[in-house]
Amino acid sequence: AGDDLQAIKKGVMELADLVIINKADIDADAAMRAEAQITSAMRLFGLVNNAMGSEQAASFDKNWHPQVIQLSALHNKGVDVFWQAVTQFKALQTANGQLAARRQQQSLAWMWERIDAGLKQAFRQDPQVRERLPGLLAEVARGEVAASTAARSLLALASKGWNA
């Protein structure tokens, strides 16, 4: 239950489609407090029905409001409610095209992540960069060269090698 405030601080509540409080059987009072605090935080973000009764749309779909569910996986309590929520969410996302849109966004994000990783790897393996990097690192650390100047210098070295 102590992790709920950390999640709120990190902005996770704005991204959650479903919040699960597992091991709710260990400390029922703590689980109830966590559920109440998380639900309150979600109301503040406009992600669930607020206390006045007006409904505000979740971040992407006015037909889905993130739920907070307590369960005990060990004792199989609440798992059926959890699975029903997952199934309902998936059906809604499939029907309104959001699932396909999210998959497309994920695929594009993963592509760019792989490009970034590949470029970093190629950059770090470039012979000219490897030769010049230790000296520039030391110069930047001593304050003799600005970090941006060192970065431009290394990028210029690498791009020469890639264009050759």
- pTM for the structure as a whole: 0.60
- The answer to whether residues 47 and 58 touch, using CB atoms and an 8 Å cutoff, is yes
CA dihedral 60, 64, 68, 70 (to 10 degrees): -130
- What is the C-alpha to C-alpha distance for residues 138 and 144, in angstroms, rounded to an integer? 9
Reported as a single tens digit per residue, the pLDDT across 47-94 is 665 433 334 343 445 678 888 999 999 999 999 999 999 999 999 999
If one looks up domain 101-163 in CATH, what number appears?
Answer: 1.10.287.130
Ordered by start, the domain boundaries in the chain are: 3-98, 101-163
> E strands, 25-70, where?
67-70
Cα 112 from Cα 21, distance rounded (Å) = 34
